[in-house]
A = this chain, B = another copy of it.
Amino acid sequence: MLSWLTGRSLRTDEARSEQLGPVTGVPALGLDALASATYGPEAALTVLIAAGSRGADAIAPITLAIIGVLALVFLSYLQTISAYPNGGGSYTVAKENLGPAWGVLAATALCTDYVLNVAVAIAAGVGAIVSVVPALLPHTLALCLGILLLLTVVNLRGLKTAGAIFTAPTYAFIGSLLIMIVAGFVHPPRLPSPPAPTAATAVTAWLALRAFASGCTALTGVEAVSNAVPVFRPPEVRHARQTLTMIVITLAVLLSGIAWLAHGLRLVATEPGQPGYQSVVSQLASAVFGRGAMYGVTMAAVLAVLCLSANTSFADFPRVCRLLADDGYLPATFGRRGARLVYSAGIIVLAGFAATLLIAFHGVTDALIPLFAVGAFSAFTLSQAGMVAHWRARRVFGIHMALNAVGAVATAATLGIIIVAKFLEGAWLTVLVIPAGYAFLRYCGRLQSRLARALAPSEPLSLGDVQAPIAVIPVDQVNRAVLKAVRFAVSFSDVIYGVHVVVDDDDRPDAVASDWETLVENPAREARREPPRLHTIRSPYREVIRPLLTVVHAVAKMYPARTVAVIIPERIEPHWYQMWLHSQHATLIKIALLMRGGPHVAVVNTPWYVAEPADAAADAPPPMEEADLG
């Protein structure tokens, strides 16, 4: 139906397989990590606004600390890549080494992080747009939702050309930021008019801690390579490790370069979401390049990389959902690929969550940052704790285990700092959401495993004492649809009840009983068959469903060995949009019979196509497609 939007269906064997090397791997898997070089320093500097231009002094040590944590995380993941050549995402590593419950927890943390990554990257991208065109500031949220919608549609179509789309912007982004840093080093610029610090306070330890906690969002996305080892060219592990190394070194260079420039320029961030807002990268680029072509190229590359960074979540979130569905923690829908070979259910759920976040936080990056890093650092910690368990199980106690243990402790400590420093500003929400998501997935898993146990056949088909069903037909009026239902009932049953519920609501004479005699009973007698009996029930409360259920239960009790087939004629209009005309009574009756009829009741729908009675095609089937039943 929506194929004009999502494109033609793709055959399963059209699934492409990519083979990455380090040069293609950096854009494909590193973009997310590199993009955070824009909003990480910005987040730290926004916290430091309170310190006015004195904040610029603090940015250097804070960035050093962040790069230190990055180094530890990097060394840990190098080991994960070697240990999990088939892909070691946090879910897999935690599940296999710490147990399924920890795996589910890691998956929840990861998914939270993916949702936030979409929201933060889009919000930061729009932040870049409004830095260039301040007139768009009032339309921040609309721009965010527009980009989200675009990404959702593009991902529902599936990205065939993903590789190419990623490469150019990524290298343009790295290149222009590096040029900016080098140019700023060679010709140190001056900010045109450094905003006067309004009520600048000293940089207290608490302020520095909060800036560090915010700045740690720069580390998000580093885990991507370890999830995707099999997509590399052989030797996969070596290529993956090379790629990760290149990504981390580039990220570290960008982070320290931006910090150093900000320090040299005595840069003060602007208040996000307020008039006059300009992103940190925009401030730096315009100071170094002026508002010329290079500024335009830089900002365009930043925007592109941020949007594509949101896009990587669209690839990863559905994949984690698929793993969860395969293990029975999510409904099977999340494990099925749609017409375009993508996991549509996961994409739609991700888009829904991200839209909710963007709306709730008005599309302002700064408001989302406190929520962000909690999920990522939870997943880091669980993944590395899993690696420690991995080494212990293999009795490898040396440098390997030590590195992962140090990594686990460092990321856990950082997680603690983030939660404490950012709790009131929004981290509490993530701290609530992750356990709630965890509980939901576990509940879901319990339901599904109960279902699987209940469905498993304990014995083969038993065909002793199979008896023909009883037919029950609710009769509102004796019309052609009901006659068709009776004829169908006669074809499989010798005991047929018509049930007419008289809704005591008008004074019109009720012709059903006499019609039934003329149109049903007499012809049956003439054909020498047992005439179907009509039961008439008065319903003083004008209900239909309850009296009908009572009759069905009574019939089921009278014939305990036989199934009661309740036949509901269904009127089918020529066009679906005409269906609303019909009362939803039939649907409600079906639901009530299925939910409360008991296991010995079957609900039978006989379609009756509405058309002019003169139309000979009225009872003919629609055009058929041929099938070979060989």
Interface of A toward B, CB cutoff 8 Å: 9-13, 331-333, 336-339, 444, 447-448, 450-451, 453-458, 460-464, 466-469, 477-481, 483-484, 486-488, 490-493, 497, 503-505, 515, 518-520, 522-524, 527, 529, 535, 540-543, 547, 549-551, 553-558, 562-563, 565, 570-573, 576, 578, 580-584, 590, 594-613, 618-622, 624-629
Contact = CB atoms under 8 A, between A and B. Distances in A.
Given A339-B542, A466-B491, A595-B572, A604 B602 contact: yes
A331 B581 contact: yes
7 contacts: A331-B581, A339-B542, A457-B479, A460-B518, A463-B527, A554-B627, A598-B621
A624 B554 contact: yes
Contacts of A578: 447
Given A339-B541, A492-B493, A550-B627, A603 B605 contact: yes
A606 B596 CA distance: 12
Contacts of A595: 572, 576, 607
Contact of A10 (B331, B541, B553, B582): B541
Nearest to A602: B606
Given A466-B487, A542-B338, A550-B625, A461 B603 contact: no
Nearest to A539: B12
Nearest to A467: B491
A481 B456 CA distance: 9
A620 B450 CA distance: 18
Contacts of A607: 594-595, 597-599, 601-603
Nearest to A584: B333
A576 to B, nearest CB: 7
A602 B487 CA distance: 12
Contacts of A491: 466-469, 562-563
A547 B626 CA distance: 10
A515 to B, nearest CB: 8
A268 to B, nearest CB: 37
A230 B467 CA distance: 58
Most B-side CB within 10 Å, residue of A491, A529, A603, A608: A491
Contact of A488 (B469, B596, B611): B469
A455 B481 contact: yes
A561 to B, nearest CB: 10
Contact of A453 (B527, B612, B627): B612
A481 B452 CA distance: 11
Contacts of A549: 625
Contacts of A462: 487, 523
A556 B454 contact: no
Nearest to A464: B527
A359 to B, nearest CB: 19
A581 B627 contact: no
Contacts of A480: 454-458
A286 B563 CA distance: 76
Contacts of A600: 621
Contacts of A609: 599
Closest 4 CB pairs of A and B: A598-B621, A554-B627, A492-B492, A455-B479
A604 B604 contact: yes
Contacts of A571: 451, 455
Nearest to A481: B455
A582 B438 CA distance: 20
A629 to B, nearest CB: 5
A509 B450 CA distance: 23
Contact of A12 (B540, B570, B584): B540
Given A444-B581, A627-B553, A594 B620 contact: no
Contacts of A336: 503, 505, 542
A563 B488 contact: yes
Nearest to A345: B583
A555 B629 contact: yes
Contacts of A486: 461
A63 to B, nearest CB: 45
A572 B504 CA distance: 33
Nearest to A556: B621
A590 B576 contact: no
Nearest to A606: B602
A541 B337 CA distance: 10
Contacts of A624: 553-554, 556-557, 598
Contacts of A515: 457
A550 B479 contact: no
Most buried by B among A520, A522, A581, A582: A581
Given A13-B504, A457-B478, 5 more contacts: A455-B477, A462-B487, A553-B626, A556-B621, A563-B606
A605 B590 contact: yes
A93 B464 CA distance: 68
Contacts of A620: 598-599
Contact of A450 (B332, B527, B612): B612
A519 B565 CA distance: 25
Given A491-B466, A621-B600, A572 B556 contact: no
A627 B336 CA distance: 46
A478 B460 CA distance: 10
Nearest to A579: B595
Contact of A612 (B454, B520, B582): B454
B602 A608 contact: no
A530 to B, nearest CB: 11
A555 B609 CA distance: 20
A501 to B, nearest CB: 12
Which of A468, A582, A621, A628 gathers the greatest number of chain B CB atoms within 10 Å? A621
Given A451-B571, A627-B553, A520 B583 contact: no
A9 to B, nearest CB: 4
A126 to B, nearest CB: 29
Contact of A610 (B454, B477, B505, B604): B454
